[in-house]
């Protein structure tokens, strides 16, 4: 069969450039769009050793982890893999359980794909990006909408840690929420919705399970509110925000992304 890497990369490049995505310099197929020099949208694909190639996407900000496009998408998979089981499932729920793509995850281009099916597989990968990931990313225009995206698709990224340097995208909370009341409202609502979702999804989930889970979720929500209240005006938080922003903007400039 044909080699997958080059034609898939070329097809994604041709499709994504009109949407403002740039191919990052280097050996790996990262296509990146930067919004307001703060938000980084990424579309790429991974070689699942022995299985084939999976098209994936992810979102980051300059206030999160160090952004490194010099490593394989495989090793950036903790943040450039939001779609698989995350974005898709949430979008499917929004549409009453229906989503007009043929697979419940990004199409896997298998290594042993027949020659006559190769081009169709490439087109399916691009069409799924067009129909699912690009519209999902289009919701993100600024930091508040970025937080909304995370809360919908990857809420764990926003969790606050007692150790400020251990936050992933948690520092966004301090940039977006102007007061404790707003943060508290959204946090309690998020934890409450998760509890309801579990009850609806699990047939074996009893009312007693629901009660215990709700108590635990409220406890965790209150802990997040406590951390936000204590850390929001901390000089350490402000210093970490500035450090991460400067570091990541420097990295993005070095790679000619901005």
pLDDT digits (tens, 9 = 90+) for 26-83: 889 999 999 999 999 999 988 777 777 888 888 999 999 899 999 998 888 778 865 4
Q: In this structure, are residues 191 and 220 in contact, taking their beta carbons and an 8 Å threshold?
A: yes
Predicted model pTM: 0.84
User: So what's the pLDDT on residue 61?
Assistant: 97
What is the distance between the alpha carbons of residues 94 and 83, in angstroms, rounded to a whole number?
15
Q: In this structure, are residues 130 and 149 in contact, taking their beta carbons and an 8 Å threshold?
A: no
What is the distance between the alpha carbons of residues 65 and 79, in angstroms, rounded to a whole number?
9
Q: In this structure, are residues 32 and 20 in contact, taking their beta carbons and an 8 Å threshold?
A: no
User: So what's the pLDDT on residue 249?
Assistant: 96
What is the distance between the alpha carbons of residues 19 and 231, in angstroms, rounded to a whole number?
37
User: So what's the pLDDT on residue 1?
Assistant: 44
The ranges of the chain with pLDDT < 70 are 1-2, 81-107, 193-205
Pairing of strands 31-35, 22-23: antiparallel
The length of the chain, given as a count of residues: 258
User: So what's the pLDDT on residue 183?
Assistant: 96
Cα dihedral 201, 202, 203, 207 sign? negative
User: So what's the pLDDT on residue 104?
Assistant: 41
Which candidate, 158, 160, 133, 137, places its Cα nearest to that of 147? Answer: 158
Structure tokens given for 206:
């009893």
Cross-sheet strand order for the sheet of 39-48: 22-23, 31-35, 39-48, 52-61, 108-110
């Amino acid at each position: 069969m044909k080699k997958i890497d080059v034609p898939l990369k070329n097809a994604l490049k041709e499709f994504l450039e009109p949407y403002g995505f740039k191919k990052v310099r280097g050996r790996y197929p990262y296509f990146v769009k930067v919004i307001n020099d703060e938000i980084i949208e990424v579309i790429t694909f991974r070689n699942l050793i022995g299985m084939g190639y999976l098209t994936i996407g992810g979102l980051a900000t300059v206030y999160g982890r160090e952004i490194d496009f010099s490593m394989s998408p495989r090793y950036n998979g903790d943040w450039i893999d939001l779609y698989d089981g995350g974005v898709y499932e949430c979008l499917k729920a929004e549409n009453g359980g229906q989503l007009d793509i043929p697979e419940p995850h990004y199409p896997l281009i298998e290594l042993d794909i027949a020659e006559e099916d190769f081009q169709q597989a490439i087109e399916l990968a691009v069409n799924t990006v067009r129909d699912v990931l690009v519209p999902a990313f289009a919701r993100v225009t600024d930091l508040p909408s970025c937080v909304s995206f995370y809360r919908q698709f990857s809420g764990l990224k926003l969790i606050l840690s007692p150790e400020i340097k251990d936050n992933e995208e948690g520092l966004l909370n301090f940039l977006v929420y102007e007061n404790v009341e707003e943060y508290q409202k959204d946090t309690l609502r998020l934890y409450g919705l998760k509890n309801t979702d579990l009850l609806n999804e699990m047939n074996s989930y009893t009312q007693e399970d629901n009660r215990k889970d709700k108590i635990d979720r409220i406890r965790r929500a209150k802990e997040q509110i406590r951390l936000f209240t204590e850390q929001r005006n901390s000089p350490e938080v402000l210093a970490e925000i500035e450090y991460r922003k400067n570091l990541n903007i420097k990295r993005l400039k070095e790679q000619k992304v901005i």
